Amino acid sequence: MKKRFWLISEFYFPDENSTGHLLTQIAEGLAQTEEVHILCGRCVDRKSVTEKAVSIRNNVFIERVNSSGFNKDILLLRLINIISLSIRIFFRLLLNLHRDDNVLVVTNPPALPFMAALACWMKHTVYSVLMFDLYPDVLVATKILSEKNPFTIILRWMTNILFRYSQHIIVLGRDMSHRLSKKYSGTRDRIIVIPNWGDIDIITPQNIDQNTILKELSINDKFIVQYVGNIGRTHNVELLLECAELLKDKTDICFLFIGDGAKKKWLTESVKKRNFSNVIIRTYYSRERQSDVHNACDIAVVSFIPAMAGISVPSRIYNIMAAGKPILAIADPESELTTVVQEENIGWVVTSYQAQDVVDVILSAMKNRTALLEMGKRARRATEEKYYFKRIIALYRNVLLNTMKD
């Protein structure tokens, strides 16, 4: 029987969030040489997208399972969605898996890899884990759980079992590799670092004076500090609002937020309540406008809450780099984000989590446009040399598909 490769994810095309986009590209890249199957949930935007339960797109066999579709920004309802989806995928795997298949499961949402691993164990099928976020660590960092919470202890024990029997543990950054090997003994030899990439063919540097988004918002004459992507619990948008407060008298500076997420409502209400005139918030633009989106700034900010090193790596940094924009990183000193910014010399790192330190960087950057341009050129060059899709998919193919042929 022919070996098949399975990729298990909550999101997949036509989902336009980062997970759906990345997993779609990985699957279609692997499908150029192998039989690839996707088992995923329904599209997030169910009202505007018509889906088939089973379909084929770009040589990838796609099967979608029904699950609850409650508001994911409400924690309890999100938990119901996660459990519903994970159980449905578990039963579909029991029906579909063959002994010679190979499975790659994403760690988000947190119940999914455990159910997929259980199905693989029951069907005598090998599996690998693609770690977008490390659980339960992300729940502790966001203060959803404490270290001593019984659920934290149980989830850490289950994670140890998950990793112990996985064939490969693919992580997105060096900080993840270090954290994982320290916390879970016996994993070091199976941890493989494969970073995400920038869409260098779609996102290219543009002249900011010609940016259509800034013109639409009538802010093309200002110095733009941009935050783009998930406005989630792990991201320190509160600190950025403090910076906007400190700079409220600088009418030539504008903070532009583009995205959605759990903190979006709080951010919008806070800006309205405090009557910020130097903050603009917009929802996601279509994937077709991503080059315009990432070029709509002078500097791009990637802001984490403290103690996130080794837990999550923001995929957005590579598209920011593809657009040739300098990065202002607010992160732990040992994080992959900090490491990339410093080793490529493409921006600034603030590890103090103090608003005044961030403001000082912004004001300094405004005074040296030449430095911004040079950082942007180095950022673009780094994506072309290291963080581009053909190189990254070759790493996936080497790790996963060569294993299938053994």
Same domain, yes or no: 222 and 351: yes
Measured CA to CA, the distance from residue 349 to residue 154 in angstroms comes to 35
Same domain, yes or no: 365 and 399: no
Same domain, yes or no: 316 and 172: no
Measured CA to CA, the distance from residue 341 to residue 344 in angstroms comes to 6
Residue 328: pLDDT above 90? yes
Same domain, yes or no: 51 and 10: yes
Q: Which of 163, 305, 152, 318 is nearest to 238 (CA)?
A: 305
Q: 53 versus 270: which is more confidently predicted?
A: 270
Q: CATH number, domain at 258?
A: 3.40.50.2000
Confidence label for 403 from pLDDT (cuts 50, 70 and 90): low
Same domain, yes or no: 125 and 232: no
Determine the Cα angle at 139 with ends 336 and 80, to 5°: 125
Same domain, yes or no: 396 and 378: no
Q: What token pair was written down for 270?
A: 């806070």
Contact, 387 vs 318, CB < 8 A?
Answer: yes
Same domain, yes or no: 241 and 292: yes
- Which three-class secondary structure state does DSSP give residue 4? coil
Task: Tell me what pLDDT residue 44 has.
Answer: 66
Q: How many CB atoms lie within 10 A of CB 119?
A: 23
Residue 72: pLDDT above 80? no
pTM recorded for the entire structure? 0.92
pLDDT tens digits for range 361-390? 999 999 999 999 999 999 999 999 999 999
Q: Estimate to the nearest angstrom the gap between the alpha carbon of 239 and the chain centroid.
A: 20
Task: Tell me what pLDDT residue 402 has.
Answer: 67
Domain count, the chain: 2
Burial of 358 (0-12, 13-18, 19+ CB in 10 A): buried
Same domain, yes or no: 248 and 214: yes
pLDDT tens digits for range 193-250? 999 999 999 999 999 988 999 999 999 999 999 999 999 999 999 999 999 999 999 9
Residue 290: pLDDT above 70? yes
Please state, for a pLDDT cut of 90, what percent of the chain lies above it.
81
Confidence label for 401 from pLDDT (cuts 50, 70 and 90): confident
Residue 70: pLDDT above 80? no
Task: Tell me what pLDDT residue 281 has.
Answer: 97
Measured CA to CA, the distance from residue 241 to residue 255 in angstroms comes to 9
Q: Is residue 167 part of a domain?
A: yes
For residue 329, the enclosing domain spans 208-385
DSSP β-ladder status, 223-228 and 191-193? unpaired
Helix boundaries (H) for 192-299: 212-216, 237-246, 264-273, 290-294
Same domain, yes or no: 315 and 394: no
The secondary structure of residue 208, as a DSSP letter, is: G
Residue 1: pLDDT above 80? no
Residue 147: pLDDT above 70? yes
Task: Tell me what pLDDT residue 406 has.
Answer: 47
